Structures are given as C-alpha cells and as structure tokens.
Chains A and B, each alone.
Chain A
Amino acid sequence: MKPLQTLDDVVIRFAGDSGDGMQVTGSQFTNTTAHAGNDLSTFPDFPAEIRAPAGTLAGVSGFQIRFSSHDVFTPGDAPEVLFAMNPAALKANIADLKKGGLLVVNQEKFQPRDFEKAGITSNPLEDGSLDEYRLVKVDMARMTKEAIEGLGMGTKEVDRTKNFFALGMAYWMYNRDLAGTEAWITTKFKEPFREANTRALRAGHAYAETVELFESRYDVPKADLPPGQYRNILGNQALSIGLVVGAQKAGVPLFLGSYPITPASDILHQLAGYKQYGVTTFQAEDEIAAIGSAIGASFGGAMGICTTSGPGMALKGEAIGLAVMTELPLVIVNVQRGGPSTGLPTKTEQSDLMQAMYGRNGEAPVAVIAASSPTDCFDVAIEAIRAATTHMCPVILLTDGYLANGSEPWRVPDVSAIPAFPVQFRTDPDGYKAYLRDAGTLARPWVKPGTPGLEHRIGGIEKAEHTGNVNYEPLNHEKMIHLRAEKIARIAVPDLVVEGDTGTEADPGELLLVGWGSTAGAIRSGVEMARSRGYKVAFTHMRWMNPMAKNTASVLRSYKKVLVPEMNMGQLAHMLRAETLVDCVPVTKVQGQAFKVSEIFAAIVKHSSPSSKGNA
C-alpha cells in the first residue's frame, strides 16, 4: 500500500473523444469530491459538434476539476494530472499540463491510424516529446474487456465503459470512495451496462492499487467550509432554480419563452420540468417569438422570462425596446458565448456587455445585472426579478458559458429566509391612468387584463406622460425619455465593496482591479496571490452594470491605477471611462477561455509601480 501524501489543492483534467464519456467521468469525480468535503470548481470544455469524427482534434471533450482543502474561486490554471484517452486529446491538452505533471494515457489508442486522425506524425509516447511529464501508459481497453468478460457485450459497448476504468484509477489516486458512483450507476443504467460499468470502475481502482504505476496516492483534506447542507450545482441549474424562487417571491406565475441555443438551452430543459411550481415553458419558433411571448405573458400578469445567447440577443433587440416602451417586467438572460455571428458556440466570452447596455434603437435604457459564479446565478436571478417587478422594466441578466456549465459546492439557502417582494396588481379603477407612476420607483401600475374598469391600450408608439395614449409632442417625448432613464437609475444597487489595499480619493491606493461577471474568481485569486507576495493591490467586483453603484467613480478615483480584466476587447473599461473619466486600463482576453489566475497576476506585476511591488 502506497503512503498517503497530503495535498492542499489539486487540478485534474479528463480529456478524450466526445464519445468517450469524459463529461460523465468528470461530473462523477466532482460529486464524489464534493461529498468528501472539498471545496471545488469545475470547468467542462466540449466541442460544438455533437459527434465530430472520432479521434480528431475537433472531437476532443474535456472536463477540469480543481478541489482543495481551502476556498477556491476558479477551476485552476493548469492541471497537474491529465487523463488523455487518445492522441487528439493529448495534443489538444498537453500544453496545459504542468511540467512534471502526471499524464495517464489510454495506450491502445496510440496507434499509427490514431496519430493520423489527430494530425501528428510521430508517436508521442516514444519520441521523447513527453519527457517532461510523468507518463503512465495504461492498456485500458484490454483490461476493461477482461473485467467485463462474460456479459456478452460487443466491442463498441466495451469501449464505452473504459471511462469508468479511468475514473476508478482517479478514485484510487485521491483515496476516494467508490460507493457514490456505484449507487449512481445502479440508478442510471440497466443491465448489462450496470454490471459492466461497475466492474470497469472497480477494475480501474484495483489496477491502480495493484500495479504500483503511481508513485503515491494523495489525500486532500476537507475544506473549512461554513457549516450547513451543501449541494454541487451548475450555473445554469442555479439560474433556473433562482428564476422559480424569484417568481414565487413575487407571487406571480413564471412564463419562459425560449428558442434553443447553446449554451442557454439547459435552462429551458430544466424549467420545463418545473410545471408543478407554476412554471410554463414555451419553445417558440424563433428568438423573436420567444421574447414576444414573454412580453405577452407579462402583459397578462405573469413573470415573462427569456433565455438565450448572443446571436439570439441580436434578434431580440426590437422587442426589448417594446418592453422598455410598454414598461412591463421582463427578464432576458444572455448566457454569453464567443462571437461575433455564430462565433464559438460552446466557448465563453463577455463580449455582449455593450450589446446589453446599448444594443437597441432609440434611447432604450435597460437594467443589466451579471452573475459572478455558478452559485451566484441563483441570487442574481432573484435580484433580476425583484428589479423587473418593482420598477416595471426589462432586466438583462448576463452569465456566460463558463458559469453556465461550471459547477461549485453551494450551501443550500433557506428559502423561507429569502425576503418576498409580492406584486400588487392594480384593481382600483378610481383615478387609474396607465402611465401614472409610483413616486419612488417610477413604476407604472401593473394591471391584469380581465380587471374591470382598468381597460387600457399600450404599444410601441411614444406615450403621453400620464395617460399612456399615443403622443408625438416634442416635449412629452423628451420627458418620457428622461423618465425611462430615471426609472432605471433608481434601482437600488449596493455600493461597490473593495477587497485588499485601501485607498481614498484624498490618499489614493496603488492599483485597483475592477471585474464583472465570471472573471470574479480569477481576479480575486490573482489579487490574493499578488498581495501574499507583497504587492499593493485591491479588487472590486461589479454586479450591476446598469445602473452602476453610486460609489463607482469614487472607488475608481481612490487608486492611482485601475485595471479592468475582461473577456472582450475592453467593453467595461470603455464604459467606466465614459462614466467616471478615470483612465481605466483594459486587460483583455478573447480566446474563448476564462482568465487564468497567473494571467491576472502577471497583469498586476506588469502594472505595479516600483514602489508598490512586492518581493516576488
């Protein structure tokens, strides 16, 4: 028996062909790790093609998980362990593996014809190109076949179980219990696959233990998480549940109009299963019908929602303007992906910020909120519904592919402790006018058709200030434009909170990093890393993009230099310069991939003045 070596933090990646079951392997490893008490963060990375030709680079699917005995905010920069099920997976992922890292390959797939498919000319297992890594060659296919012999399964089916063999090896390496995955296999598969997968899993575990291929096995102690009940949750799941809870807290039924689009479709799938909670889901004929139906539902007294990604947002522009004009509550979720046009459907980006802010005809201000982590999607969904119903306005909720498919442990909130914000539909005809506003929120009354005495007409043509009748008068138009902008400006947004080195306008600090959306984890970790090495640096995160927190300008002016890391060409930096006149420096990345902590750290090092530099 190998001695147990304690580790604080591990990043491991499973990579193989789309048909190799790497997502299943990764999510099973995640669940078991979560149950073992580690903090964790995951990142699946899969191709847009459903089944690209087997063995090619286009078909490589990966799943990275970082698990730790302390808080983690990102799925990790570089894995120290890589499982590569074929040469294409090796080629696509090897550059990320840490030098000296453990590389486990599925030996049988390293044949000349596999090299050809992957577009490599020599055998990497023999040509010395992997000398910097601890290479472990495992004949997974043969051993899986032996393990499940007698179950009467064909070669193809045998091949489909070898991911469980790999998973079994990984469990042995990190001293994990097989029970969770075994129970899952029992519920998920019928015979003979149930038996085959179980045997493959155990065989992988036994093999790792027996042959002593690995120098050591590791233990990652439990993280010191706040006490409570936990579940592991994906961003899209948290968002779906948040929308349901938000609508219930508002006391209105939820109506989702949606057209399938990667990476947002899972929200439609998820909500379609929640009919018992009063959730209606409508798969519309196109993106415009999706938002049109949601607007119609909101007019009818339900909470209209639509979920989409960038290309769908582009199609919804005119209808969002209609919701602005008719002042109806609406939440439009954009799970951002790489653009422009079809772009990178399965990859992440933050390049729709300006589209969300300004992507409509006319002066059409819309509230914009962004989630910072998979679990934050839950809170942000509730917050979006609260703002939409309180102020009678559309709210755009931005997440991205990295949040949507990433997961982390979530301390399950007590739903009864989440404050309700019940909608009061107007029923009193006395003194009713369709566009008379609440003095505080500037919301117009929400009236359900069917209410006697409150019949009224709304539409996309400019409204007279109080009656809502069609009106083309110059001064009325100007007044209404100001009112619609003021209404958004009045959404209550908490002040920005600064972590790290303090600064004030009178006595500015050295360096501030401003983040938004899914970059929060990488920026926070990068700043922590820099501070631990003596750099004077601070971090603040923006949740509301419109309206911005009232103290935004003041916070930015409290530092000599402001960096804005974002996965676009500097859209927030552009906005912040306009809003605050602070010369923010964009730190951009547009590779369809999230920031690495090391990249944030490098940016801090680069932009730190000599006096604020640490001893790194």
Chain B
Amino acid sequence: MTTEPVQKPLLTKKDYMSDQIIRWCPGCGDYAILAQAQTVFAELQIPRENLVVVSGIGCSSRFPYYVSSYGFHTIHGRAPTVATGLKTVNPELSVWLVTGDGDALSIGGNHTAHVLRRNVDLQILLINNRIYGLTKGQYSPTSEHGKKTKSTPLGSVDHPMMPLAFALGCDASFVARSVDIFTKDQRDVLRAAYEHRGAAFVEIYQNCNIFNDGAWDQLVDKTVRDERCLFLTHGKPMVYAGGKKGIRLQGLRPTIIELGDGLTADDCLVHDETDPYLAAILARMDYPEFPVPMGVIHRKERPTFDAEMNEQLVEAKAAAEAKGPIDLQALVTGRETWTVG
C-alpha cells in the first residue's frame, strides 16, 4: 500500500490578510501595495509561519499588522537593524522590510546604507510619497526643492536625495522601482525581489492623497505614463512612448532618440541588470529630462551577510570539533591555572 503525500491546500491572497482593521486613509496608495504584496505572497506560496514583515515608523510601517504572518512594528528608522538580527539568527525566514522615505532615508538613513552594503537577504520596500504623512504633512528627504509644507511655509531649501542612486552607492545588489498603481509591474518587481538572494531594494512611488496628493501624477497618470516612464526588461532595448522613442548613450550620457526615420530599437541601449555602470546611469535619470526607469534596474548576486555569518559559525564549530569535543568547562577554566590545597 502506498500513501499519497498529504497535499496542503494552496494558500490564497486572503490567507495573508490579518483580522486587523486597516487604518490607512481611504484612497491611500498603501492599500494597493499591500494587496500586491499579499497576492505575491500567495503566488510564491510562502508559508505564513516563515514570513516576517518588519517595519519602522510611519504610515507604511503599519504594514505588518495587516499581514497574517509574523510581524514586527519597530521604532523609527531602525527596522533594518531588527531585521538584520532576526535574519542572522534565523536565515530560513523570508523577511520583508517595509519603510518610507522619512523612515529609511532620514532618521534611518544610516541603517539603510549598512543593510544594503552588508547584503542582508531581505526584501526592502521603500514606499516613497515625498512627504511625512503620519506626522501630518512636513517635507521629507525626497520632497522637491521649494516644497511648501507646514514646516516650510516659504518652501523647503533642502535638495531631495535620489533613493536608487543612494542604494547603488551602498553597492546594493538589487535595485528596482515601481509605482503603487502599476499593479502588475509592481508584482513582477516584488517577485524578482523575493527571488534575489541578498538585500533587494525596491522603491515604490506612492500617493498620499491627504498631504501630497498627486505627488507622482506628472509621471504616472494614464495620459502621460507612456511618455514619461521607461519600463525596463533585461536584455531588451530601452524603448518607450509606444515604440516611438528610445534611449541611446552618447559618450557617458544617455540621450533620447526619436525612432523611425532610420533609427530603430537596435540603435537603443540594451538593458543589462548585471551592469553596475549602466545602473548608475539609470538611477540618475529623472523627469523632466528623461523618462523615469521602472522595473529591475540592477541585480547582481554576491554573498549575503546572514549566510556568511552562519558559515563562520559552522566552520568555527567544525574546526573546534576536529580538536576534540567542544567543552564549556574548558572555556571557563582557561589555559593558565594553578591549584590550591
């Protein structure tokens, strides 16, 4: 008699929804991001017990409460540190870090830099709405110069930072971008982030309809997105605007070319996710000079922090065992002793 292996029922998106009432404002872009993440969790069939969502402080950092997995809503800016400790002692877990532009780039900028350079195997979702929402409308490190907010009535004199260029400066091994309302592209990017071994940094443009409504409309509105977004595919030429325009390299600078009239897709730059020099160019491309690159900008495998830390433990143990059983008493006794009596 043979026994059929017990087939666990497939997990659906609903299985990743917690029983907590979602407290984001109606119309908040976070709803769409939560829904895409839950859909991807189900597509990937990540066992709920192995899924951990870690966040800092801010509107987006309420995320863990709404996913029926393990979750840790930590303190402002420090989620990468908690995630690093967690993943290091428990590398089997799928750890997703959800953060915002203030949390990741202002108060937690230091930790963001270090978690990326260490390449801790995490999915990092930086939900960027260019404003402080939870504290009710102050400018953020990605707010545009001159932005008038409650704390900058005459306009901000801070220059905004470029999250993806910053991530590449930390030698991040995976850098991508998507938009809250680009649901399919967002799911593709989240899936790629999950499949990447290492710190996968995903910037997601999000609309705060209360304090910064229309933050990204000039790029992502249906009427303009084809002209102003460049959707990247590895190995494919950088063509946009319905095939009418493309990106070409002139010296070290990208330029926009009109296709047709002798110029074809073959004349365009071909996207290579593994090329860090190309990534540096793409990360700097911004509207209105250029269309904004979307999708996976850079992806290159390198050893992860958590794996190497655990390898050292295994190696040290093996090296010690080769000399004899590991003896706690020997540690306490030490090498130099003397006897009394």
Contact = CB atoms under 8 A, between A and B. Distances in A.
Contact of A460 (B74, B84, B88): B74
Contacts of A469: 20, 65
Given A231-B333, A274-B331, A461-B73, A292 B82 contact: yes
A470 B313 CA distance: 38
A455 B339 CA distance: 53
Given A227-B340, A412-B337, A322 B74 contact: yes
Contacts of A276: 316-317, 319-321, 326
B111 A285 contact: yes
B85 A292 contact: yes
Contact of A34 (B68, B74, B85, B338): B338
Interface in A389-438: 411-416
A415 B82 contact: no
A286 interface: yes
Contacts of A416: 329
B110 interface: yes
A233 interface: yes
Contacts of A412: 332-334, 337
A280 interface: yes
Contacts of B52: 449
B84 A296 contact: yes
A293 interface: yes
B89 interface: yes
B72 interface: yes
A257 interface: yes
A289 B305 CA distance: 15
B215 interface: no
Interface in A237-279: 241, 244-245, 248, 253, 255, 257, 274-278
B75 interface: yes
A413 B73 contact: no
Nearest to B65: A457
Contacts of A459: 64-65, 71-74
B313 A278 contact: yes
B73 to A, nearest CB: 3
A119 B4 CA distance: 89
A2 B309 CA distance: 60
A292 B78 contact: yes
A459 B57 CA distance: 10
Interface in A467-492: 469-470
A289 B70 contact: no
Contacts of A296: 54, 72, 81-89
B64 A255 contact: no
Nearest to B53: A457
Contacts of A512: none
B312 to A, nearest CB: 6
B114 interface: yes
Interface residues of A, number: 74
Interface size class of B (residues with CB under 8 A): 35 or more
B48 interface: yes
B83 A275 contact: no
A452 to B, nearest CB: 4
Greatest chain A CB density within 10 A among B47, B48, B49, B332 is at B332
B75 A284 contact: no
A273 to B, nearest CB: 9
Nearest to B319: A276
Given A276-B317, A450-B50, A455-B49, A282 B339 contact: no
B261 interface: no
B85 A457 contact: no
Nearest to A456: B70
B17 to A, nearest CB: 12
A451 B114 contact: no
A413 B337 CA distance: 12
A29 to B, nearest CB: 14
Nearest to A35: B338
A539 interface: no
Contacts of A319: 75, 78
Contacts of B74: 292, 295, 322, 459-460
Contacts of A37: 338, 340
A128 interface: no
Contacts of B93: 300, 449-450
A105 to B, nearest CB: 31
Contacts of B54: 296
Interface of A: 31, 34-35, 37, 222, 225-233, 241, 244-245, 248, 253, 255, 257, 274-278, 280, 282, 284-286, 288-302, 304, 318-319, 321-322, 326, 411-416, 448-461, 469-470
Given A277-B326, A285-B113, A457-B71, 9 more contacts: A295-B74, A296-B88, A297-B89, A302-B85, A412-B332, A449-B70, A455-B68, A460-B57, A460-B74
7 contacts: A35-B336, A230-B337, A289-B111, A293-B82, A295-B82, A299-B82, A454-B49
